[in-house]
Amino acid sequence: MTKTELIEQIQIKRSFLCVGLDPDLKKIPRFLLKSEDPIFEFNKAIIDATKDYCVAYKPNIAFYECLGPSGWESLKKTFDYIPKNIFTIADAKRGDIGNTSKHYAETFFSFLNANSITVSPYMGEDSVKPFLEYKRKWVILLALTSNKGSLDFQFIKDSNNQELYKSILEKSLKWGTDENIMYVVGATRSENIAEVRKLAPKNFFLVPGLGSQGGSLNDIINYGWNDECGLLINSSRGIIYASNKNDFAEKAGLIAKSIQNRMSKILDEKNF
């Protein structure tokens, strides 16, 4: 999917919501466990109930991988089931030497046909490049994450007093363009979103941490909005586990709809 196509979807659906698909056998409604593929049945119901209110889905690969080969079957079925006008994010946080990253790119861009993958920057340019060689595909590079551990290294200041996450931004901006690189920018310290926006005015940000990890929608908009929206805001647990009973999909749909509603008003206010 291209940037233009993504923006078009945001304008049509009046939403920049991304729904995180993190299905956990211990948390999904019990009655689903009787079905042949509970993980896919859960996702299918969530997608059916939320697809009108979001522009992206983000399956977190760890939740599938831990089920062995059958988890990968469920993951593949999930990617295939997501409507083609919805942006897909393989949340995999991969990254290795070039020859290995090439294989990861094959997995996520060819086998799963995801539109994008989250990538860890620690190993530098040659670990990211193989993902950027695919047309119409995206790297979503970790810049500032939303967890407590983000404070361990991401804010280390270099001799010019610049934090590590900013050095990563500056350098990686040269590896691709705003047509194939997005950044993960956590919402827990929303003033930092403004710092990232200064360095990367044109790139889309994937913002995790709405709801369960503490971010506020208004803050994210205040600090991260650009004239193309520039934001995909993710919610996982807050939507998919809104209920663990028979009405789980209905409840997920209601939460997604209420977020879309707030986003729609913001888009109106912004004349977008």
> Which parts of this chain interact with a copy of itself (CB under 8 A)?
22, 24, 60, 62-63, 65-70, 72-73, 76, 91, 93-98, 100-101, 103-104, 106-107, 110-111, 120-128, 142, 145-154, 156-159, 161, 164, 167-168, 171
C-alpha span between 6 and 148 (Å, rounded): 31
Radius of gyration of the chain (CA): 18
Kindly state the smallest distance separating residue 108's Cβ from a copy of itself, in Å. 9
**Burial degree of 188 (CB within 10 A; 0-12, 13-18, 19+):** middle
Kindly state the smallest distance separating residue 29's Cβ from a copy of itself, in Å. 19
C-alpha span between 252 and 242 (Å, rounded): 6
Backbone angles phi, psi at 90, to 5 degrees: -85, 105
Burial 73-97 (b: 16+ CB within 10 A, else e): ebbeebbeebeeebbbbbbbbbbbe
Kindly state the smallest distance separating residue 142's Cβ from a copy of itself, in Å. 6
What are 95's two structure tokens?
């990254």
Kindly state the smallest distance separating residue 130's Cβ from a copy of itself, in Å. 10
Nearest 10 degrees: Cα torsion 225, 217, 122, 119: -90
Residue 154 or 235: the one with the smaller Cβ distance to a copy of itself is: 154
Kindly state the smallest distance separating residue 61's Cβ from a copy of itself, in Å. 9
Residue 95 or 176: the one with the smaller Cβ distance to a copy of itself is: 95
* C-alpha to C-alpha distances, 35 to 31, 38, 112, 172, 245, nearest whole angstrom: 8, 5, 23, 44, 15
Block residue for tokens 């500056």: 170
Is 3 labeled as catalytic in the residue annotation?
no
Kindly state the smallest distance separating residue 219's Cβ from a copy of itself, in Å. 20
Residue 168 or 200: the one with the smaller Cβ distance to a copy of itself is: 168
What are 241's two structure tokens?
């586990």
Residues 6+ apart with CB under 8 A from 124: none
Signed CA dihedral, 86, 87, 92, 93: sign only = negative
Residue 52 or 106: the one with the smaller Cβ distance to a copy of itself is: 106
Residue 68 or 135: the one with the smaller Cβ distance to a copy of itself is: 68
Residue 164 or 254: the one with the smaller Cβ distance to a copy of itself is: 164
Active-site position among 76, 93, 102, 257:
93
Which active-site residues does the annotation give? 93
